[in-house]
Amino acid sequence: MTQELKGSVILGYLVFVIYECYSTWEKILSTTTNDSATSRNGVGQPPRSAAERILEAAKTEIDERGVLGFRVLEVSEKAKAAVPLIYRHFGGRNGLVAAALADQFESIMTYEIERVHQAIAESPTLSIQELLEFLPLPNRPQASSVRWKRLTVMATARELPELEVRLAEAQMRINDAFEQVISAALEKLQSPVPIQPRALSLLFQSVVIGFTINDLDSSHQVSNEDFADLWRALLSFASPNLK
Sequence ranges of the domains in the chain? 1-36+47-91, 97-243
Cα–Cα distance, 243 to 239 (Å, whole number): 9
- At 198, the amino acid letter reads R
What single string gives the DSSP state of each residue in 174-239?
Answer: HHHHHHHHHHHHHHHBSS-----HHHHHHHHHHHHHHHHHHHH-TTSPPPHHHHHHHHHHHHHHH-
**CATH class assigned to 1-36+47-91:** mainly alpha
Exposed / middle / buried, residue 81 (Cβ in 10 Å: 0-12, 13-18, 19+): buried
Confidence (pLDDT) at 45: 57
pLDDT value, residue 47: 58
**Which residue has better confidence, 209 or 29?**
209
Read off the pLDDT of each residue in 210-219 and give the average, rounded to a whole number.
Answer: 92
Asked if the model's pLDDT at residue 15 lies above 50, the reply is no
DSSP string for residues in 33-86: HHHTTT-BSSTTPPBPPHHHHHHHHHHHHHHHHTTTT--HHHHHHHHT--HHHH
Confidence of residue 1 (pLDDT cuts 50, 70, 90): low
For domain 97-243, give the CATH number.
1.10.357.10
Question: What is the mean predicted confidence (pLDDT) over 49-74?
Answer: 94
pLDDT, average across residues 107-113: 89
Backbone angles phi, psi at 222, to 5 degrees: -75, 135
Q: pLDDT of 25-59, one tens digit each?
A: 444 444 444 444 344 455 455 557 899 999 999 99
Spatial distance between the Cα atoms of 25 and 211, rounded to a whole number of angstroms: 50
Length of the chain counted residue by residue: 243
pTM tops 0.85, yes or no: no
